[in-house]
Amino acid sequence: MPNIAMVKGVKINVYPNDHVPPHIHAIYGEHEALIEIRTGEIIAGFLPKVQLLTSVYFVHENEDDLLDLFYRLNPKTKKK
């Protein structure tokens, strides 16, 4: 169940057994960025500017739900 949303052509994924900090994978074509849920910062990868701004806005607007989903899929990680 990694694909949780499609926002203006950007796939938003959360994977089980993933690493901290809590983050989403935003995928647009051949580009992928890992965006930290709490801060909206890119922790790895690259997205074109428009797709990055769209993804960060999505994360900001859905922060609580995304954190909840991340921790449900990754129960061995510790909530902070």
Inter-CA distances, 38 with 9, 24, 29, 30, Å:
23, 11, 25, 25
Distance (Å, rounded) from C-alpha 47 to C-alpha 64?
A: 23
pLDDT value, residue 80: 63
Task: Spell out the per-residue pLDDT of the chain, length 80, in tens.
Answer: 578 899 999 999 999 999 999 999 999 999 999 999 999 999 999 999 999 999 999 999 999 999 999 999 998 887 66
